[in-house]
Every structure is written in structure tokens, then in C-alpha cells.
Amino acid sequence: MFTSRYLLIACFVISSTVLAFGQENEPDEERELGVIALQGISKPTYITPISTQTPVGIELRYSRLHMRRESWQQCQCFFRSGVFVNAYSFRNPEALGQSIGAGLFYEPILVHRARWGLSVRALAGLAYVSRHYDAITNPGNRAFGTAINGLIGAGLYARYAFAPGWRLLAGFDYKHISNAGVRLPNQGLNIPALAVGIQRYMGSSTLPNPQNWRNVDPGKRWMFRVMALGSVKVLEANKEYPERGYPVFGLNLIGGYHLTRTHVLSGGIELLDDRYFKEQIKQWTGRYQPYRQGTLLAGYEFWQGHFSFTAHMGWNVARPLWYKPATYQKYGLLYRFSNGFTGGVAVKAYGDNTKNFQAVAGMTF
């Protein structure tokens, strides 16, 4: 919680920074700078020594409200985009320590009124954690296998303008820190939190009417996408083998049907050559065995302009028969260029356990 002294300091810093950005030219699009306090609402139970308190954090955000037609057409919505810097105390100094993170965020506006609004945010970045797994000095930390980790998150926020140029912010914030299975152990850490903050803004926040910007042509109903994927995973050292990174690459083929321009049912196959898994099998069984995997995928996609969010269930129909689990979830965030070239990132997970991040690139037809 902030004391009144810290609130005054925060307000001064916010005012000075935003005004500095706007001194040369009065921006026609709103700029916003805010400081947010984050109070965690759950604590990890798989850490030794066990965490007895929930995490707390603070975050500084700077964003721009995009109101031009070319921006609106990217997602068929008005949105903010910007940068953030945050710091967390996990309040378990022996096992988890603290973190410092930074990255980019994208925040579509759901409701916009003269004095209040509602928005949803997605973010991605990197986080440094002060305490990570070490077989000798920190064997109880199963959350972080490396000091540098990926940071992803989402949130739902409400804003209320209580004075000219000033807003209060409140909402729900969720972040996940992990190295995506690059180096084990990698249980990762989920940080759901309540967010309360203060925002300083300047520039126009009056949104234009996009009615004439809409394309009423429903377009083609069927779509097809072919994507190459790649990643790297690090196999832990043991008494017989040194630590080593192995490539993961494959091919993702998806077909889908547009129920509407936004909502798509899709399915397909994924072929995976996981050299990390190949070496794992050798260590488990003492010999190389067939390791390549073939997966059937089925799921849903949400398309907004050039962006699409994908969510699929996968069933490994081609795999070592003894290997479990046979199913997994896969989520992706993709961007399609006008010529059909598509790129983005995908996450493979078993429940809440993130197994792998993948870079993907290909074509959408």
C-alpha cells in the first residue's frame, strides 16, 4: 500500500513526465502514464520452504491511445499500446526472492465513456528473478530454472476520471513468469493480483465514429494456414551427460471455417521433431527410440483485424505408446500481413504447466 508521501511523489513524477512528452507538440492522441500497486491473491504451494504470503508488486506504464483509421483496422477496435516496467516481491526471500520485468502491452478498449472506461490488456516481456533453482543452494525452487525468464500476462481494468488529466485505475491483473521449458525445472509462477493505481493523461481522448470504416463484406468463409515452428530446450546435466540445448522444430497445418468474421472453428495436424525429447528417451530407456510426434488439433480462433488468438486441444496420435500425457493445450497469438504472411508465438501447455514457447511463421490463405 502507498503512503500519502509516496502518492504525492508518484503524482509529481507522472505529471512531469507526461508534460515533458507533450511540450513540443500537443498530441492529438491521448498519452497516459500511470503507477499501479499489485496485491497478489494466491501463493505458490510447490516451493520449499513454502510461501506463507502472497506476492506484492508495483508497475509503471506508459501508453498511447490509437484513434486513427489505419490503427483501428488492425483489430477492428480502438486500443492503447505501450511499455511497462514492474517489480515484484514474492515474500519468500530464501526460495523465490524478487523480480524485475519490462515489456510491451496491447490494450483494446471495451467501453469508453466521457469519465470512465473498461479495457482488457495482453502483455509480453522479460523478467529477471533474483533466486532460481540450484541443486545445492536452492533445490526447493521448482518455479524458475533460470534467472532470465519470459513474462506474459493479461488483465481487465476500469478507469475513472476524477479530475481533469487524472484517472483512477482498478482491476484484475494476471502474470505468468517462466522460461517455457528451456531449462528445467520450470513449473513457472502464476501471479493473479488486484490492481489499483493512478493515471496522468493528456491529449484528446474523444474517439471518432468508426461506422464508415467497417468493411461489410463477409469475405471468404474458409481459411488455411501453414506454419513452420521452432524452439530450443535445455536438458539438465547429470552424472553422465553435460547440460546441452536441443532444437525443436515442426510443421503446423490448420484449416478453419469462419462462423463470422471474428469467430473461427479450426483444426488440423502438427508434426514435431523434438530432439530434446529424443535425448530424454535415451536417458530414460538407455537407447534411442522413435520419438517424432504427430498431433491432431481442434479448437477455436478469435480474429480481430490482422490479429488472431488461437486455442486448440491436441491429441498425440503418433508418439511412444508409453508416454503420458497424450493430450495438451496449445495457444497462439498471430499477426497476418496483407499479403498473407503470418508470424507470432505459440505456447504448449499441460494444464497450468507451461512446457514450451515456440516462434512460428508461415502463410494464411
Q: What is the pTM of this model?
A: 0.75
Domain CATH code at residue 320: 2.40.160
Q: What is the average pLDDT across 147-165? A: 94
Look at residue 27 and tell me whether its pLDDT is greater than 50. no
* pLDDT tier at 40, thresholds 50, 70, 90: very high
Residues 252-283: b if buried by 16+ CB within 10 A, e if exposed = bebebebeebeebebbbbbebebbbbebbbee
Nearest-angstrom CA–CA distance, 285 and 287: 6
Amino acid letter, 179? N
For residue 186, pLDDT over 70 is answered with yes
Q: Which residue has the higher pLDDT, 286 or 334?
A: 334
Do residues 13 and 121 both lie within one domain?
A: yes
My answer on whether 120 and 233 are in the same domain is no
Q: What percent of the chain has pLDDT over 70?
A: 90
Residue 117 has pLDDT above 70, yes or no: yes
**151 shares its domain with 264:** no
The one-letter code for the residue type at 239 is K
User: How crowded is residue 323: how many other Cβ atoms within 10 Å of its Cβ?
Assistant: 15
How far apart CA 364 and CA 362 sit, in angstroms, is 7
Does residue 206 share a domain with residue 60? yes
Q: So what's the pLDDT on residue 259?
A: 87
pLDDT of residue 215: 61
pLDDT, residue 251, reads 97
Same domain, residue pair 8 and 105: yes
CATH number, domain at 191? 2.40.160.20
Tens digit of each residue's pLDDT (9 = 90 or more) over 346-365 = 988 876 667 788 999 999 99
Domain boundary among 187, 211, 235: 211
Cβ–Cβ under 8 Å, residues 119 and 105: no
Name the β-bridge partners of 275: none
The 3-state secondary structure of 200-238, one letter per residue? EEECCCCCCCCHHHCCCCCCCCEEEEEEEEEEEEEECCC
The answer to whether residues 191 and 224 belong to one domain is: no
Percent of the chain with pLDDT over 90: 54
**Is 270 found in the same domain as 135?**
no
Express each pLDDT in 256-302 by its tens digit: 999 887 889 999 999 999 998 888 888 888 888 888 999 999 999 98
Name the residue range of residue 271's domain: 217-364
**Which one is predicted more confidently, 127 or 215?**
127
End-of-domain residue from the set 211, 243, 260: 211
Domain count, the chain: 2
Could you say which of 171, 191, 211 is where a domain stops? 211
Q: What is the mean pLDDT of the chain?
A: 86
In this structure, are 242 and 174 located in the same domain? no
Predicted confidence (pLDDT) at residue 41 exceeds the cutoff of 50 = yes
